[in-house]
Chain A
Amino acid sequence: KAGVTQTPRYLIKTRGQQVTLSCSPISGHRSVSWYQQTPGQGLQFLFEYFSETQRNKGNFPGRFSGRQFSNSRSEMNVSTLELGDSALYLCASSLDRAGNTEAFFGQGTRLTVV
């Protein structure tokens, strides 16, 4: 079966702009989690969606938001981009609960803010 698909793979944006990233989970998976990965901080949890509801949220500013659609596809939006938002953004899908079952990660979207 198809894995987790993230689009786009690479993105370059200017400070102050906004960006939307997309994640299509594995068919049948209802939980989608988003992470930011940087060399200094490692993988940091952004939020988790389950059946179109945000179930968990990390410690990121309100500029970071997300949503999940009825087909479980999820989008993440970052507004007013800052240089420090440059990172690899990863989404992970799982069948039910995000943490207590196997999570499948996508290849990520590499965002560069200039």
Chain B
Amino acid sequence: SQKIEQNSEALNIQEGKTATLTCNYTNYSPAYLQWYRQDPGRGPVFLLLIRENEKEKRKERLKVTFDTTLKQSLFHITASQPADSATYLCALPTSYNTDKLIFGTGTRLQVFP
């Protein structure tokens, strides 16, 4: 079955730098992959969806890449700010293009001033 690996260790970076978070999957390559942000005690907030035929997607300071050869997605936040501090989750379908999602356990990002 599909497994997602996100770095469970917190990522600490200085304000203004680019944060890069990794999402690796182990099995088939999915039709799409999503990234969410979650703050403590709150539900996840959708950030970006990238499809298998898209190598890269951008939204303001956010950029996501999707490499089906490496079975990996990278999530970048440029010019990071303390307000970007949160846990970031990646999610992908449990089989190629189903609506049933599996989530990674997330990576906590801490941006220091």
Q: How many residues of A contact B (CB 8 A)?
A: 27
Q: How many residues of B contact A (CB 8 A)?
A: 25
Partner of B101, one of A4, A57, A99, A107: A99
- Knowing A42-B106, A43-B89, the reply to whether A98 touches B43 (Cβ < 8 A) is no
- With both beta carbons as reference points, the residue of chain B lying nearest to A48 in the complex is identified as B99
Interface string of A25-60 (1 = CB under 8 A from B): 000000101010000001111001000000111100
- With both beta carbons as reference points, the residue of chain A lying nearest to B100 in the complex is identified as A56
A42 in contact with B104 (CB, 8 Å): yes
B103 in contact with A56 (CB, 8 Å): no
- Report the minimal beta-carbon distance from B102 to chain A, rounded to whole angstroms: 7
Chain A interface secondary structure, helix, strand, loop or mixed?
Answer: strand
- Knowing A42-B104, A43-B103, the reply to whether A107 touches B43 (Cβ < 8 A) is yes
- With both beta carbons as reference points, the residue of chain A lying nearest to B42 in the complex is identified as A107
B46 in contact with A103 (CB, 8 Å): yes
B43 in contact with A100 (CB, 8 Å): no
Partner of A42, one of B31, B32, B103: B103
Instruction: Give the contact stretch, choosing among B14-22, B67-75, B90-98.
Output: B90-98
Q: Which residues of the partner chain A approach B45 to less than 8 Å between Cβ atoms? A: 105
